[in-house]
Amino acid sequence: MAVDINNLPTTAEEVEVDYDNYADAQEFPPPIADGTWTFKPTKVEFDLKDGKNGHGSVLTAIASHDVFNDTGEKIGSITFDRFSDKTFERSNVKVSMMNDQLRAWGDRGRYASKQERAQAVKSHVDAGETFRAVSKREAYCGHKGTSFETKRSENGALISGAEPWNVKGSKIPAGESEVSCPVCHQNARVNARIDRRIPASA
């Protein structure tokens, strides 16, 4: 019998779902090996956040890519690849990860507004343009749910627990999808991340 959703109970119930440690039904494919690959974006979304310490707002692109080796064979994919327009200095020159990504597509455009930047990124993704980049595997553990769990104050100082642990690249044995955290001894998932986007000729 169908119910009218407007007549469903409105009283709060004791929560049985474990929201804090929710396990989504999904597959975690083994991370792609460290190396230089061809990336084909399959999706991009954008996020806008206020900058810290009075800096302007930051536009972040969150993309997924299929990854191919030099013979054109698909070796896996990368999700949650993030690149923002926040500027930082590289060799005393102001750059941004978003500009690195645009240059990896051979785009040397001087986009003045966040909308122009987002539209430029989206147009390359929508056109299915590939780019080259170096990926590295990494694992991270904030010791969640243990006595070592990292807790910080508003200004970032460690209040209790231990600093997060992380390990990158060749320090992770090949083919491992999880590594043991030496601090809390929980397993940390190994993820492949883009470490360096390679500029393409314009």
The nearest distance, CB 188 to Zn ion, in angstroms, is: 7
Q: Name which position in 141, 179, 190, 192 contacts Zn ion (CB under 5 A).
A: 141
SS3 state of residue 114: helix
Question: Measuring CA to CA, how many Å separate 129 from each of 59, 71, 93, 185?
Answer: 21, 17, 27, 41
Residue whose CB is less far from Zn ion, 58 or 181:
181
Our CB check for Zn ion shows the closer of 31 and 142 to be 142
Region of 24-32, 112-120, 136-144, 166-174 interacting with Zn ion (CB under 5 A): 136-144
Mask 84-123, x = binds Zn ion (CB under 5 A)? ----------------------------------------
Is residue 59 close enough to count as binding Zn ion by CB under 5 A? no
**Which of 33, 62, 120, 183 is close enough to bind Zn ion by CB under 5 A?**
183
Does 181 contact Zn ion by CB under 5 A?
yes
Q: Which secondary-structure segment (H or E) carries 135?
A: strand 131-141
User: Contact between 143 and Zn ion (CB under 5 A)?
Assistant: yes
What is the footprint of Zn ion within residues 11-30 (CB under 5 A)? none
Q: Which is nearer to Zn ion, 119 or 180 (CB)?
A: 180
| 148 close to 107: Cβ distance less than 8 angstroms | no
CB-based contact 79:31 (threshold 8 Å): no
How far is Cα 125 from Cα 158, in angstroms, rounded to an integer?
A: 40
Indicate whether 200 belongs to the interface with Zn ion (CB under 5 A): no
First-last CA distance in the chain: 63
> What span, in angstroms and rounded, lies between the C-alpha atoms of 94 and 49?
20
Question: Cα 110 to the chain's mean position, in Å?
Answer: 25
Nearer to Zn ion, 33 or 183 (CB): 183
Round to whole Å and give the CA distance between 165 and 5. 47
Binding residues for Zn ion, rule: CB under 5 A, are 141, 143, 181, 183-184
